[in-house]
Structure 1
């Protein structure tokens, strides 16, 4: 098998700017991973195992049929040579009969081969669809926090690259790999049937080639697993790098994403060079043993001696020489199939890992909340598992009375966003209960029709602005969508676009941060959820947009139970309740006037002194406080 190497960086010893090379992994670990990959692959392929078995049986038949044209070729040669030696006319009927057999067998073999490939390609399409369906169903039940903590490159690689890696193993390997074993065996047997000496000639250089291949294949499984692991790291780091390109451009090589990607790429290149250089030398030597000139020299040269001795005919030598030329091709296909199986094992293991991602607990029954009051009762949560994991929030208890606005304030990293996302059930608490109207959030039917949220980073899809606003309520009428956009202070700007609400975000136009945020507010208005989570909705917008967003938010929170997160106390001065969060716990709760005497809140207020919203007003529901 011949390997090709990609462009690589200079070795580490010539690159003083690179970090020290990481030690090679324990071979026992890679062997265990290889076995796990084989098990995962077998499990993943179970739904299409019957189709693959059928395809292999058809490939066996195709491989056996490959012998028939050679039999016909020898018979035609014998007829022609015999007629020439006897000085008589060629028996045209006999030649025509064997030509029909040759062409018929060849056509039948191609037909069987085509059907076998059709079966495997249909199985591949079915398996890919089943895997994607399973992933979608799984991802629909995993905690939303998992998507923010999991590298997006890993998910993209599983949904696209890994399924593509398995494609060759499903669509081609069962047929090509089986045919690569059966056909050379059948042809070699026939070569020995013709004459045992010609049979030996047809495989004369094969032991040398096999020896070279076995030498180059030492540790191939472990090396393939390790290559695949390092390549996956490069892919993940590349996604991080591209995602943070603006920061990388600002800070150059000191950017963390750039440095991580550079280290992963250099690490992979050094590993790959160390592996491939000796492999190429041995592979080149092995390939030379099966070179066409050498094979023909041995088979025709020695075969001609046998012809002169009267032991065999020229047709026999020609047939076995052709067989000798086909055996290397079959071996190359077989080696490529084995390589594809190694890569597919690693891909299957990563797909299986994603398909086994822990999901949110499913409740047996569902109860309807009697109100929209939200109660946090002794809630604790950690982003990591294990007894030593630090708690992000610890023993948090407070109540959001129905129809009121509760604001969470505190320093960055204190746990405010964690509390808010637990209400939206991005994940389940480690302990304690969050309930809506007396029902734990995990048992609330259709939770997101009752709890809406507007986050600081507005997420819009590559859809029309109409569809983006109606994302949570696809049956909404155009008038309802317009009303929501009007209340969100973004209607005039949408209608000013050439295609209005039909404008496709990201293709027809881009939007400012403030515009995108107001469209997300319009989306929340249209869903009309009675409970609302606002997480720093104005944090990433320009000062000119904050007035419009503030007006839109005031319309959004009116009459709803609202949990608001803000760093600036002035923004939430008029809310019903303020909860001060520090180090994952509640330090104080009350109104703005009640908390001014609390040292932590007073410190936040002093730090914000002089920083006010663009219109100088606090968030209000339109009702007196």
Structure 2
């Protein structure tokens, strides 16, 4: 069994803790040298911290000696020790500052590397990967997890090393002064360590479980908030809220059961490091030693001051331990994202082999294509075979959930098929560099960004001129409405204005027109728009599809009848292919056609009544 393999009987939380530790080690490897330098400088700073205490003790001895003998104070000796005290204290601060500078630079460098690697990785993952859940994971990684790791990189190496090295160096000096005073300076520490060993038992596993439960609460909250419109519309507020409430209550019960005994034990442990108790032990014991002539008052004062540093060192050490636990899970999530499977980049393959794969025509062929989503045993697309002839419109029809949209995303290469191939001009789409200069798409959700309308239209062609952008908007029947906005094309979506669904869809159409891709995917482009917008969108689509190879997913009867070819899909399989008239003899298609006509007729009557 390798060290990375979990031991038999290991709990899932312990496995997650071990995995987090390994992930953190791998994540920090690019800056491990800088962190080592930071620790060395922190240790040097800690050693120098002893000198001011030595100087204080020496100065105290000189002053006490002068007071006892009635003679003058040795000013030269006092000046010597003061210069040494100030010099070493200043040097210690400078070295400590240098150590923090090294680790903060390392933190900035690592954050830059992680973000760069994430951008590079996520640019190559299948577009179908970007669900709401995975997008939330990316946001958490880029914002929360990198911030969590920041504490471990920028502060913990220096502060943690200093918290250990400085008390050890000072305690060593306390023992040099007098071994009895040295024992007094750490007299309460064993009691604190025992209480903490009891308190921290199972801390790693509990931290992992806490992180998991918090993630569950967050997921339920997002589910409740983002779906509130649908939830209220169907009267399911109580049910949706109950799932969030249950997750929150479960976390509360877990956290209370974990923390209540910890708080009691922590209070007991902290009381052993209370300043009054430390002073009582050190000054009381020191006074007894002074009375019996074993040590001087200056010795007792110096070791008492050293003993007061123990609570600070313990607090920093505990914070460092907690930061390490949290950073381990953050590093595990970051490493998981950085290991997300990617699609083979055709451009890299061409650079490696010195080949080009530019399609000579735009006939699209689905050849025995099969695809199943991760975790599903049932294919979403099952041995699908059909052809999109160049400069024709093909409609995919079928019941909801039959696999139509999945087929369309395979052409757009949101993901790759498990078997079979999707080719354009005889070349697999996976081998075509700059695929989206050949394939454009307008989906139900137009996915506009919070940038200017000009930049949204030019998203796929950033070098487009203002004239070209306006021409595309005019062809999409949206230019007049854009010019009526506060800042025209420079209007920033979400900040300056919002758009109706029909307006957003026509901007997406303008974007597709500007890219001018010869193959086009239309997935229910008018499904989520109001009836008033559908006419404008239909006119824009008529301009968009002209002279292109089009794959259309739609249910409206008048759209289906006007296409060159119809492909009937059911359970991911191609059931029938042909034009509208020939397909009417197929019972499955006839059933869909009749249902679509009925729904369209009822919708028209409803619009008329309104």
TM-score tier after normalising by the smaller chain length: over 0.9
* Stretches of structure 2 lacking an aligned partner (at least 5 in a row): 1-8, 351-355, 605-610
SS in 2 for 1:452: strand
Match of 1:367 among 342, 357, 373: 357
How big is the shift at 1:562?
0.2
Partner of residue 89, structure 2: 106
Tell me if structure 2 keeps the 8 A contact 1:59–1:179: yes
- Work out whether residues 557 and 600 of structure 2, in 8 Å CA contact, stay in contact via their aligned partners in 1: no
Q: Note the alpha carbon deviations across 1:386-420, whole angstroms, 9 max, x for none.
A: xx711111110100000000000111000000000
> How far apart, CA to CA, are the structure 2 residues paired with 1:167 and 1:239?
26
Q: Helix, strand or coil: the match of 2:276?
A: helix
Q: Once structures 1 and 2 are overlaid, which stretch shifts more, 261-270 or 591-600?
A: 261-270
Residue in structure 2 matching 1:384, options 366, 370, 374: 374
Deviation of the 1:244 alpha carbon = 2.0
Q: List aligned pairs for 1:477-496, cutoff 5 A.
A: 477-496=465-484
Q: Distance in 1 between matches of 2:252 and 2:149?
A: 24
Partner residue of 2:446 out of 442, 458, 466: 458
- What corresponds to 2:281 in structure 1? 298
Aligned equivalent of 2:126: 143
Whether 1:318 and 2:317 are equivalent positions in the alignment is no
Q: Counterpart of 1:621?
A: none
Q: Name the SS for the 1:319 alignment partner.
A: helix
Q: Post-superposition shift, 1:233?
A: 2.4
Q: Which of 215, 228, 250 matches 1:245? A: 228
- Pairs within 5 Å for 1:109-508: 109-148=92-131, 150-250=133-233, 254=237, 258-363=241-346, 364-365=349-350, 366-385=356-375, 389-508=377-496
Per-residue CA shift, 1:19-49, capped at 9, x if unaligned? xxxxxxx862211111111110000001101
Contact 2:444 2:524 in 1 (8 A): yes
C-alpha contact 1:153 1:236 (8 A) present in aligned 2: no
Deviates more, 1:349-358 or 1:256-265: 256-265
Instruction: Name 1:590's counterpart in structure 2.
Output: 578
Shift of 1:613: 9.8
Please give the secondary structure, in 1, of the residue aligned with 2:447: coil
Q: Does 1:515 align with 2:503?
A: yes
Aligned mates of 2:600, 2:462 — CA distance in 1: 37
- How many Å apart are 1:498 and its aligned residue? 1.7
After superposition, give the CA deviation of every residue in 1:68-94 in whole Å (9 maximum; x if it has no partner). Answer: 110000000000000000101111121
| TM-score of the pair, normalised by structure 1 | 0.92
Cα shift readout 1:93-136 (whole Å, capped 9, x = no counterpart):
21111111111111111111111001111111111111111111
2-structure distance, mates of 1:234, 1:151: 16
Partner Cα distance (2:469, 2:207) in 1: 54
For the residue of structure 1 that corresponds to 2:522, the secondary structure is strand
What is the RMSD computed on CA atoms of the aligned residues? 1.7
Matching of residue 537 in structure 1 with residue 520 in structure 2 = no
Q: Of the candidates 28, 35, 39, which is equivalent to residue 52 of structure 1?
A: 35
Query: In the TM superposition, what is the alpha-carbon distance from 1:259 to its structure 2 partner?
Result: 4.0
The aligned counterpart of 1:526 is 514
Alpha-carbon separation, structure 2, partners of 1:448 and 1:324: 68
User: Secondary structure at 1:384's aligned position in 2?
Assistant: coil
1:401 touches 1:561 (CA, 8 Å); kept in 2? yes
1:142 match: secondary structure:
coil
1:273 Cα deviation (Å)?
Answer: 0.8
* Match of residue 599 from structure 1: 587
Equivalent-residue separation in structure 2 for 1:132 and 1:361 (angstroms):
21
| Secondary structure of 2:597's aligned partner | coil
Distance 2:528 2:507 in 1: 14
SS of aligned partner of 1:321: helix
CA apart distance, 1:157: 1.0
SS of 1:45's partner is helix
